[in-house]
Structure 1
Amino acid sequence: MDDDWKRDRIRAAREGRNPTVIAEMRSGFAVLADMQFLPGWCILLPHQEVSSLNDLSMADRSQFLLDMSLIGDAILNVCHPKRVNYDILGNTDEYLHAHVYPRYDWEPAERQSLPVWLYEDQYWSDPETAFSTTRSAQLMNDLRAYIAAHVS
């Protein structure tokens, strides 16, 4: 798969070239994260690149946060995790995007209370848990169906 779309994920989503897109939402695009060692990990990308949540109008902020929570509902319904965590960081990719990731009972006990970012390096580079259009297809379809049924 050509990874050219990764240079500008938002533009690629708008142009239909981002294979991780699950659904277009009012505020942006629900996408599957590159690594799926926590199955169902999603990211909400805004329609237009902005630096932070604070750069949006109050109405756009509200919609972004609502869409983020709807992705969380989809993950809860489809993946049945113990909980869903939400992160808006922007430290590495310096544009607004929100991580919505499940946390599971089957994670090692010492991991469950720590941020996902502290998982060891091998989790971030394992090809068996990396996004794959074939391996991730059913998960994406299930998340897409939930989102479509609950967007008003």
Structure 2
Amino acid sequence: MNDWKEDRIGSAIKGENPTVLAKMKSGFAVIGDPQFLPGYCILLGYPQVDSLNDLNIINRQNFLIDMSLIGDAITAVCKPLRINYDILGNTDPFLHAHIFPRYEWEEEERRKYPVWLYPKEYWSMEKYQFTQEKHMEMKKRLTEKLQQLMDKNYK
């Protein structure tokens, strides 16, 4: 049922990953599994490398620009207070970037600190998990905005 989660990039290439928003210059923009911060997205680097430092300078620029375009799309669609960008690689050993919207409605002790300090259960609670039914409209709007931004900025 969720076999695509075993290989998110491979399933994106095959068109089987339901979280894909768009294919970008540097990889795939996807909506994140947990949506306790509505609009949370990830940029999955493709072709796959271990880290940003493994890319040549042009591919690094493409990755960072793509990451920021995803942030622009989230800002336009979800109207957060700000966007946080996070490139870690500590768990999944391939280049990817987390793009987190941060909201004024978040409790202050959460909003002021990294998203990773939210309780662990927030990442897996069923009520926060991405589903086509709950998040279809937001996903559609993010995809449309991201396409507009790519059309405007990819020259």
> TM (normalized to structure 1)?
0.97
Structure-1 residue corresponding to 2:83: 84
2:20–2:28 CA contact under 8 A, matched in 1: yes
Match of 2:130 in 1: 131
| 2:94 equivalent in structure 1 | 95
List gaps (5 residues or longer) in structure 2: none
Q: Percent identity?
A: 54
Give the conservation status (yes or no) of the 8 Å contact 2:44–2:95. Answer: yes
Q: Which runs of 4+ in 1 moved over 4 A?
A: none
Q: How many Å separate the matches in 1 of 2:48 and 2:18?
A: 19
Shift of 1:53: 0.5
Aligned partners of 1:82 and 1:105 also within 8 Å: yes
Q: Given residue 11 of structure 1, which amino acid in structure 2 is its aligned partner? A: G
For 2:121 and 2:13, the matched residues in 1 are separated by 32
The aligned amino acid for 1:128 is: K
Does structure 1 retain, via aligned residues, the 8 Å contact 2:45–2:94? no
> Which amino acid is 2:25 matched to?
R
The residue that corresponds to 1:35 in the other structure is: 34
Query: Aligned partners of 1:78, 1:136: CA distance in 2, in Å?
Result: 13
Structure 2 matches for 1:29-68, cutoff 5 A? 29-68=28-67
The 3-state SS of whatever aligns with 1:128 is helix
Q: Give the drift of 1:126.
A: 1.5
Q: Residue 142 in 1 paired to residue 141 in 2?
A: yes
Q: Tell me which moved more, 60-69 or 46-55.
A: 46-55
What does residue 74 of structure 2 align with? 75
- Structure 1: tracts of 5 or more residues without a match: none
How far the C-alpha of 1:34 sits from its partner, in A, is 0.7
1:104-123 matched pairs, under 5 angstroms: 104-123=103-122
